[in-house]
Amino acid sequence: MSSISRADLVWVGLDVHKDAIHVGLIRAGSDAVESSVVFNDETAIRKAFERSMGPRTKLRVCYEAGPTGFGLARQLQAMGISCGVAAPSLIPKASGDRVKTDKRDARQLARLHRAGVLVMIRIPTPLEEAVRDLCRARADMVEDLTRARNRLGKFLLRHSVIWRGGSTWTLEHRRWLETRRFDDVALQLTYSHYRAVLASREAALDATSADLAQFYDRAPFADTVLRLACYRGVDRLGALTIASEVCDFRRFSRAEQFCGFTGLVPGEHSSGKSRHQRPLTKSGNAHLRTQLVESAWAYQHQPAIGATLRRRHDAAPPETIARAWAAQLRLCGRFRHLASRKNVRSVVTAAVARELAGFLWAEMTS
């Protein structure tokens, strides 16, 4: 790119949908934006870029990240065309612009790309994306299992069958569920169906977890999983989830940027002498944020290295173990300090999760 003048480049914005791709194109030396529509098909895309858009080395293409994934970007890169994928939430938009069409979106993307104001996301490799999808499939199964448990519990509550033996879904609670019987045939059938759905959800979750285990020690995740799993609350499955969502920690130059990517930072609206902080932005990666919050709950207890965590330390570098222990001392103390001042534990956990994100970023960039 260094040998090509910026004035000679052709800027292309794409608004990608399932069946059609709207194209906005700004040719070298011109401010006019040309518009066209291409069928979303590999052959049609190849023909469109080979025939009418100019030399491949001079093309600078971008489109907005969305449900169509990264297949288009990979195809264009394989053709020798520079293609970036823009972060949707960071695309500038005028407050007075109330007209939105696919054609206008493509033209605007081309203009913003030429102006250099778009923030491009990292395009994962096919393996990284595949493992990430499997991790997200497991997260979906966890939600399905929770729904199945809630349906069963509410069904029992409606018919005054109440468990009073402590925590639910323990071995004792499960044995209690097995002994429940209903005199009415329809109720017994309903109960049997709910329990069958619950059993299938648990089996699917166990199978997915077992499938993910084969990637713990496989490149490019092995080193990240080994090091992150040294931190309390981050088991190997959690470490793989974080690794597949982040992929490259070094693309964040500061811990603050990584925390912003997780959406665990508070919003703010300040002007002049007034300063107003808002709730968490939650504008980053929701899957990563969920995992960090889940891991942060482990720091509500006293600092300790149990048998399970010690086994995860066996093959880890000594400096990683030392950093993980320092993080545990800090975060356990932080959790207790905040819990003494806050009534809502979820607020405390979010604050600890944000600090945990900073420790994990420091670990993977050290």
pLDDT, tens digit, for every residue of 142-156? Answer: 999 999 999 999 999
Query: What would the two tokens of residue 158 be?
Result: 């409606």
- Give the C-alpha separation, 35 to 111, whole Å: 12
For the chain, the structural domain boundaries read 6-115, 126-213, 222-365
Can you tell me which residue has the tokens 């309390």? 232
Share of the chain above pLDDT 70, in %: 99
**Whole-angstrom distance, CA of residue 191 vs CA of residue 181:** 9
Please answer whether residues 144 and 201 qualify as being in contact, where contact means their C-beta atoms are separated by less than 8 angstroms: yes
Cα Rg for the chain, rounded, in angstroms? 26
Residue 190 neighbours by CB distance under 10 Å: 15
Nearest to 147 by CA among 201, 207, 205: 201
Q: Which of 168, 163, 172, 175 is nearest to 149 (CA)?
A: 168
Q: List the CATH code of the domain at 6-115.
A: 3.30.420.40
Reported as a pLDDT band with limits 50, 70 and 90, residue 6 is: confident
Q: Whole-model pTM?
A: 0.91
Tens of pLDDT, residues 281-312: 888 899 999 999 999 999 999 999 999 999 99
Q: What is the mean pLDDT of the chain?
A: 94
**Structural tokens at position 215:** 């990637």
The DSSP string of 132-173 is HHHHHHHHHHHHHHHHHHHHHHHHHHHTT----SSSTTSHHH
Confidence of residue 1 (pLDDT cuts 50, 70, 90): very low
| Cβ neighbours, 10 Å, residue 253 | 9
CA distance 8 to 314: 56
- 343-361 average pLDDT score: 95
